[in-house]
Structure 1
Amino acid sequence: MTKQPSPSSADHYDRVESAIRQAGLIVMGALHPRLTGAKQLDGGTLILLGAGPDFWPMLKAAPEWSGDHPVDRWSTRVIGQMARDLGAEAHFPFGGPPYAPFIDWALKSGRTFSSPVGALVHDSVGMMISYRGALHFYDEFDIPEVSGVSPCTTCPAPCTQTCPVGALNSDSFYDVEACHGHLSTPEGQTCMTGGCLARLSCPLSAGAGRDPEQSAHHMRAFHPS
């Protein structure tokens, strides 16, 4: 990555976060690859971006909405331009193989953890995780400290009991066949129109501010009729 000049003031992170919010995204985590041993990166500062409450209306008003794969195409354009404006390098969780190691980056950010059913859980959006990209900066600058403690340690784990067919479970993690089978039934339409019941059962998932229409869009992409 070509070295870009970075602000020398201590508010670099705040300026980056402000630009991210204006784009309809949220910071899902931040880390220094040199200190955390993050895969694929040697140094600098990595900021993970996710879909915030403003993401869905902004996507629907964007030119990408009328074509195929609107979420990925919007992410490529918006995050790509943000990277150019901020002097960073953009990475995306799609477009492979090979794929960028977003799961490794997320776990090493100290804000994302493995839930009792194996799916990732985030400290502010629960299991309604949607990573849209990441910004990698050449410089190491200050980032917020995090506790690094999983919210699952004090949770009664409703995610282990909510799936109607046990597709997400604490033993085998994810039974994809059982999930698709359920979604094809009349009973499965609750998940199809509102989102995965197990993921929604996480107490922190409400923090995502997820529009059910957005969840339905992702469910149709996962399970086309």
Structure 2
Amino acid sequence: MPSPDVDQISAALAAHGLIQRGGFVLSDGDVAPDGPSNKPARSVLLVGQAGAAPWSHFQRWREAQPANLQNPLDSWSREVIGAVAREFGARAVSPSDKPFLPFQQWAMRAEGLRPSPLGILMHPAYGLWHAYRGALLFEIDLPFGEVREQSHLCDLCVGKPCLKSCPVDAYSEAGFAYEQCLGHVRGPSGGACRTRGCLDRNACPYGVVFRYPEDVQAFHMKSYASL
């Protein structure tokens, strides 16, 4: 099989509102997951989204699924990315696969990003409004360009509103108070978070044109609250 064309992969993903989020060739010191034929993978290509571009594609797919389907967004992502993987001779993997793969480290390596105070990687264009939905693993070296570290917008943000908007101070320099956050979101005073999304995340001044619409944020918060 000839080497897959990254532009063709991007076009296949774009048909579902997804984008390729960079990639890299694994080095000899890396622990390589299996590729499509169970040989060690050589290249990792990240797949994700910017803003809510996949939402209409996902919603159309969701209408044809059982009403009680668990984790529908994960299921849709696996189906779509899996089909692209088969077309281009790759193995598709997901952030929710167990044992967990190092998606956060892969993403930083592929795009030169660093985490925000909320833990979400800060993107110079998308801000906090992006996600990684999966990855394609190839058993050949793909011709990725050099990855340069991006300017980290959080270093330029003096006020840090993302650490000052949560009513229960779930995020701080000490880390994320998960139980505190979840209890608030589930409780009687968490209505704004359930319907409009995380107040800290929404307070970030960067990438606002990519901010998820309220119905998308409500979908994710409902999933989070059901954990």
Tell me, in whole angstroms, the C-alpha distance in 2 between the residues paired with 1:123 and 1:46. Answer: 22
Partner of 1:48: 46
Tell me, in whole angstroms, the C-alpha distance in 2 between the residues paired with 1:84 and 1:47. Answer: 14
Measured against aligned partners, the alpha-carbon deviations of 1:109-159 in whole angstroms (never above 9, x if no partner) come to 234312234443233332234321011232221347444332222123221
Tell me, in whole angstroms, the C-alpha distance in 2 between the residues paired with 1:221 and 1:165. Answer: 20
* Alpha carbons of structure 1 residues 204 and 144: separation in structure 2 relative to 1, 3 Å: farther
CA-based RMSD of the aligned residues comes to 2.5
Partner of 1:6: 3
- Per-residue deviation, 1:168: 1.2
Whether the 8 Å contact between 2:114 and 2:122 is mirrored in structure 1 is yes
Partner of 2:97: 95
Partner of 1:168: 171
Tell me, in whole angstroms, the C-alpha distance in 2 between the residues paired with 1:144 and 1:18. Answer: 22
Tell me, in whole angstroms, the C-alpha distance in 1 between the residues paired with 2:133 and 2:109. Answer: 17
- Per-residue deviation, 1:79: 0.4
Partner of 2:111: 110
Tell me, in whole angstroms, the C-alpha distance in 1 between the residues paired with 2:191 and 2:113. Answer: 29
The reply on whether 1:135 has 2:132 as its aligned counterpart is: no
Q: Which structure 1 segments of 5+ residues have no match?
A: none
- Per-residue deviation, 1:17: 1.8
Query: Does 103-112 or 41-50 show the bigger shift?
Result: 41-50
* Alpha carbons of structure 1 residues 40 and 162: separation in structure 2 relative to 1, 3 Å: farther
* Alpha carbons of structure 1 residues 132 and 65: separation in structure 2 relative to 1, 3 Å: farther
Tell me, in whole angstroms, the C-alpha distance in 2 between the residues paired with 1:77 and 1:60. Answer: 14
* Higher helix proportion (structure 1 or 2): 1
- Per-residue deviation, 1:216: 0.9
Q: Secondary structure at the match of 1:78?
A: helix
TM-score, normalising length from structure 2?
0.82
The structure 1 segments of at least 4 consecutive aligned residues displaced by more than 6 Å after TM superposition are none
* Alpha carbons of structure 1 residues 117 and 38: separation in structure 2 relative to 1, 3 Å: farther
Q: Secondary structure at the match of 1:203?
A: coil
Q: Which structure 2 segments of 5+ residues have no match?
A: 34-39
Q: Secondary structure at the match of 1:61?
A: helix
Which residue identity is paired with 1:31?
A: F
The reply on whether 1:220 has 2:212 as its aligned counterpart is: no
- Per-residue deviation, 1:92: 0.5
TM-score, normalising length from structure 1?
0.83
- The size of the alignment, in residue pairs, is 215
Tell me, in whole angstroms, the C-alpha distance in 2 between the residues paired with 1:203 and 1:109. Answer: 24
* Alpha carbons of structure 1 residues 19 and 193: separation in structure 2 relative to 1, 3 Å: same
Partner of 1:23: 16
Structure 1 residues 180-219: aligned runs within 5 Å: 180-219=182-221
Whether the 8 Å contact between 1:28 and 1:48 is mirrored in structure 2 is yes
Which residue identity is paired with 1:6?
A: S
Which residue identity is paired with 2:109?
A: K
- Per-residue deviation, 1:43: 5.9
Whether the 8 Å contact between 1:124 and 1:207 is mirrored in structure 2 is no
